Structure 1
C-alpha cells in the first residue's frame, strides 16, 4: 500500500510549489511569462535525451535543457518519475516527448502542473513516417527533420529576439543529419535486399529505407518490443534463420534483452554471424547524428563481412 500512496504525497508537494511559482511569476500588467528575455535561457524538458540533444543543437546558449531519460540501462517503458522530474516539467516553457504511448508517464506530469503558456511537442504526432504499432519514430531521419523544424518554430515563438540564431542552427542540424542520410544511401546501394534479423521493431525505421530484407517474424519483434514472450512458432522461425544461416547480420536492441533474444545472440555467435547492437536512448557524450552514424557504420562493417 505504501508504494501506491507515495506518488500522491510528492504530487501534493509539487502542487504547492507550482502554485508558488505561478504566483511569483505573475505580473500586474499581465505580461506573458512564457516569453524568454534575452538574458534568460528557455527552460526545456525532454522526455528522452536524444530529443534534448536536438533542442540543444537548435537552441544553443538560449536554452536550458533537462533530459529525463538518459540511462541506457533503464527501460523507457517502465520508467517511474520523481519529484525532481515533476518540478522540471512544472517550470518548463517547452516540453518534448515521444508520445504514441511510449512515455505516457510524462503526460501525467503535465496534467499535474497545468500551464496554458507551455508548449508541448509530441514527436509521434508530428512524425510523417509511422510504421504500424511502432512508436520508435526517432529512428526515422525524416521524422527528426520534421520535428527539428517544429522545435525551431516553437523556440522562435518563445524568444523572437533570437529567431535568426535558431534558424541558422536548424540549417546546421540539417546538414549534419544529411551525413547520416548519405550513409544510409551508401548501405542501400551496396546491400539492398540483404537478409537480416531484428530482435525488435525499433530498427525497422532504418532497415526498410535501406532496402534490407528483414526476415524475423514481425510478431516476434513486436512481442519483444512490448516486453512479452514471442509466439512459440516465431521463436522457432527466428532461431532457424540463424542456425541455417539465412540472415547475414543480427541487429538487436540492447535495452530489450530477454532469455529469447540472448539465445539468438548466442546462436549468431556460434554461427559466426555478425551482431550489431542498437539502443533506444542515446549514449553519453554523443549527438543524435553521431549516435545514428556510429550504429550505421557498425552495420556497414558487419555487412561487409
Structure 2
C-alpha cells in the first residue's frame, strides 16, 4: 500500500530542489559545450539491488551509485540530502522504484530532464493502492534488466553488443533461483501465513500462498496501529495454527509488531525475517534464495 505519511504531504524540502535544479542546469550547459558523446555514463538508483542489476548490464561502461544500501535504514522514512540531490542531477540514467515508495527519487528524476529514467512501478504495471515492494515480484528483475539495456543502448549505441551480452549473462544467473521458485509453487500452494507488513506478499502470492493478516499488515505498512480486531484475528490464527508461518520485517521495531511476533513464537508458529533492503555482502540472487529457502524450511 502507498504510505500515508504526513511529511510527504509537502514537496521535497525546497533547498534540495534548488540544489538539484542548479546541478541540472550546470550539467546541461557542460554537455552542450562538450558535445553529445558521453565518455562516462553515471547511473543512480534509489535502492541497491536495482543498482546491482544496472551494473550487471552496464559492466565497465558505467558507474553506479545506490542511495539506500543498509538494512538498518527504513526506506519509507529516508530523507535525501543535498549530496543525493547532486548525484541525481549529474546522472545519465536514474532508476526509481516508484509507486509512492521512494517519492524523492521519482521527483529528482523528473527534475533531471537530461537523463534517461526507469520507474519500476510503471515498468511492472503497478496500480495505485497496490503493493509497492516491486522487487519481490518474480518477473521484476528481467523487466528491469531489459529496460536498463534499452536505455544504455540509447545513451551509448556504440556498445550495443556489450550491453546485450551483459544483460543475457546476468539474467542467466537467475537459473537456480527460478528453479527454486518453481519448486516453491508446489509447496506453497494454498498455504496461509501472517505478516507484520506486506513486504513479501508479491513473492508469496505469486507462488500460491495466501496472507491472513491483511488488516494488521496494511495498518503497519501505513504507519498506523492495527485495530483491536486485527490483533484479535492475529492471535486467533496463531492459537489455532491456521497459518504455517509468520513473515516479519525486522526493520519495523514498533511495539505492537514486536508483541505480535513474540506471540507467534511463544505459540510455536515459525517466524521468518524478510528485509526490504539487501543485506551487505549478498547479491540480489543470494538474498532472494536465502529468504525463500527460509520460508520453505518452515513447511518441513
TM-score (norm 2): 0.89
Corresponding residue number in structure 1 for 2:3: none
Matched, 1:176 2:173: yes
How much does 1:142 deviate? 0.9
* Contact map agreement 1:220 1:234 (CA 8 A) in 2: yes
Farther off after superposition, 242-251 or 78-87: 242-251
How much does 1:213 deviate? 3.0
* Contact map agreement 1:140 1:206 (CA 8 A) in 2: yes
- Equivalent-residue separation in structure 2 for 1:208 and 1:8 (angstroms): 40
Corresponding residue number in structure 1 for 2:31: 25
Could you give the per-residue CA deviations for residues 139-158 of structure 1, whole angstroms, max 9, x where no partner exists? Answer: 11212211211111001111
Corresponding residue number in structure 2 for 1:93: 92
* Contact map agreement 1:242 1:264 (CA 8 A) in 2: no
Corresponding residue number in structure 2 for 1:166: 163
Matched, 1:247 2:249: no
* Contact map agreement 2:246 2:269 (CA 8 A) in 1: yes
- Equivalent-residue separation in structure 2 for 1:239 and 1:302 (angstroms): 19
How much does 1:225 deviate? 1.3
- Equivalent-residue separation in structure 2 for 1:244 and 1:63 (angstroms): 54
Shift in CA distance, 51/12, structure 1 to aligned 2, threshold 3 Å? same
How much does 1:168 deviate? 1.4
Corresponding residue number in structure 2 for 1:68: 67
Shift in CA distance, 91/238, structure 1 to aligned 2, threshold 3 Å? same
Aligned length: 290
Per the alignment, in what secondary structure is the counterpart of residue 27 of structure 1? Answer: helix
How much does 1:10 deviate? 5.4
How much does 1:109 deviate? 2.6
Residue in structure 2 matching 1:235, options 213, 231, 236: 231
Corresponding residue number in structure 2 for 1:79: 78
Per the alignment, in what secondary structure is the counterpart of residue 297 of structure 2? Answer: helix
Residue in structure 1 matching 2:274, options 278, 284, 294: 278
Corresponding residue number in structure 1 for 2:134: 137
Could you give the per-residue CA deviations for residues 6-33 of structure 1, whole angstroms, max 9, x where no partner exists? Answer: 94445545544444443333227xx32x
* Contact map agreement 2:190 2:208 (CA 8 A) in 1: yes
* Contact map agreement 1:223 1:230 (CA 8 A) in 2: yes
Question: Over aligned residue pairs, what C-alpha RMSD do you find?
Answer: 2.2
TM-score (norm 1): 0.87
Q: Show structure 1 runs of 5+ residues with no match.
A: none
How much does 1:46 deviate? 0.1
1:1-305 to structure 2, matched below 5 A, reads 7-9=13-15, 11-27=17-33, 31-32=35-36, 35-37=37-39, 40=40, 42-111=41-110, 113-115=111-113, 117-128=114-125, 132-216=129-213, 218-304=214-300
Shift in CA distance, 131/169, structure 1 to aligned 2, threshold 3 Å? farther
Per the alignment, in what secondary structure is the counterpart of residue 71 of structure 1? Answer: coil
- Equivalent-residue separation in structure 1 for 2:293 and 2:185 (angstroms): 13
Shift in CA distance, 9/127, structure 1 to aligned 2, threshold 3 Å? closer
Farther off after superposition, 60-69 or 195-204: 195-204
Q: Show structure 2 runs of 5+ residues with no match.
A: 1-9
- Equivalent-residue separation in structure 2 for 1:55 and 1:13 (angstroms): 26
* Contact map agreement 2:21 2:112 (CA 8 A) in 1: no
- Equivalent-residue separation in structure 2 for 1:16 and 1:173 (angstroms): 36
How much does 1:190 deviate? 2.7
